[in-house]
Structure 1
């Protein structure tokens, strides 16, 4: 740390430190926003699907579509459950369609929509 001998040097140093502090706070906020985005349920599911595809080696669109449909079906069963009513059936199908479409959408497209 350099020695400070007058008020002008002190003021410059204070200004430099304030600029540094603002930049560091901005970086922290950006990192928090990225973490929040990654923790959204749809992004967790999408990241899991991408990891499965990479691990197992699914490169075809058919395999990725099958995984998306399976996750949509599981979401339907988890949220709506089994039911005999027509309303639950329609609601479950809508949930399944939405989740399947969200999971199958490429990850970079959803990030552009969030911005």
Structure 2
């Protein structure tokens, strides 16, 4: 670092340092937001399915459908679990349907 004797130059360097600190902080916040988004259950499921498809290389639509249905069922069990509540069961079924559709659409677009 250089020795600064001029007040104006020192103030300019302080402003530059503060700007760099803000840019670094914004980058950290953006990275944390991305990590939180990746840790959401639906994204964990989708990422897992993508990795399975890439490593195994499923080509048959029957296998893809079975995986989509299985992932949807696991999502329902993971989020809802065992419940006697009709509302929770309905929500779980809707969640299963949504996850199954999301997974199957993702598989269709990744193979085209």
Which TM-score band applies after superposition, normalised by the shorter structure? 0.7 to 0.9
Residue in 2 aligned with 1:27?
27
Q: 1:76 to 1:35 in 2, by over 3 A?
A: closer
Gaps of 5+ in 1: 107-115
Q: Normalization by structure 2: what TM-score?
A: 0.75
Residue in 2 aligned with 1:56?
56
Superposed CA RMSD: 2.7
Gaps of 5+ in 2: 107-112
Residue in 1 aligned with 2:74?
74
Q: How many residues align?
A: 104
Q: 1:14 to 1:76 in 2, by over 3 A?
A: closer
Structure 1 residues 74-83 or 8-17, which shifts more?
74-83
Q: Secondary structure at the match of 2:2?
A: coil
Residue in 1 aligned with 2:102?
102
Shift of 1:81: 4.0
Residue in 2 aligned with 1:47?
47
Q: Normalization by structure 1: what TM-score?
A: 0.73
